[in-house]
Amino acid sequence: MRAFWKRREREVLKERLGIRGPLADLAEVPTTRPLVETIEIERGASRAASISRVAEELRRRDEEVVELFKMVASPVGQATMPIHLRRGGEDAFVEVETGPWERKTVRDILKTAAVLRSSEYSGATFEVLSAYPLPEEVRYFCGRSPAALLQLDLVCYADPAKAEACGKAFRNAVRRRWGLDLDYDPEELPLVEELLLAVLGEEIGSGSSSGS
């Protein structure tokens, strides 16, 4: 799975636009900026308390906070989304991390993204607020590029020891995204290759831009 994803060249913001304290001053920060650039998370702080503080700040910015700790379910599992918002009639979800990015933390976030993208909220915005710089892998998979979405379909099955489950997951992803029912006949290999190259080619052609 990691062999597919393309590293971005976006650098983590090193200064918080003059932000003082764990939350930005509403008067100083334009609400059109991504939340990761306008809300600072305190390192080592209680995650639950930080989620509540972020929710309070979002309400102060006239954001519509629908629910805290919302359970989202999909065919690949369940995930608890700390903050559920509605923006312009569309759903958005915010994750909050106060600790350093261990490998397990990254895997957990990727699974959360995979659950979200295969749920009824598949088109929702997903933002991660972190006390530490976001790993590029997390930035990438929180986006909605075709390549990222395809790989998220497989992230919960990326275990070489479970080849059958991996193959089934890929078959389901192809059926869902392209309406094709693969039998894994040798004659189908060129088609599979063409589909993968088309997705990855679109990713490369888009340059270093990404969305969330």
Q: Does the pTM exceed 0.75?
A: no
| Sign of the dihedral through C-alpha 135, 140, 143, 149 | negative
113-130 pLDDT, tens digit each: 999 998 999 999 999 999
- CATH C-level class of 35-205: alpha beta
Q: pLDDT tens digits for 80-105?
A: 999 999 999 999 999 999 999 999 99
More confidently predicted of 16 and 185:
185
Phi and psi torsions of 80, nearest 5°? -95, 120
What distance in Å separates the CA atoms of residue 42 and residue 52, rounded to the nearest whole number? 13
Q: In this structure, are residues 98 and 104 in contact, taking their beta carbons and an 8 Å threshold?
A: no
Instruction: Output the six-digit token pair for 137.
Output: 């892998």
Q: Given this model, what pLDDT does residue 189 score?
A: 67
Would you list the domain boundaries of the chain?
A: 35-205
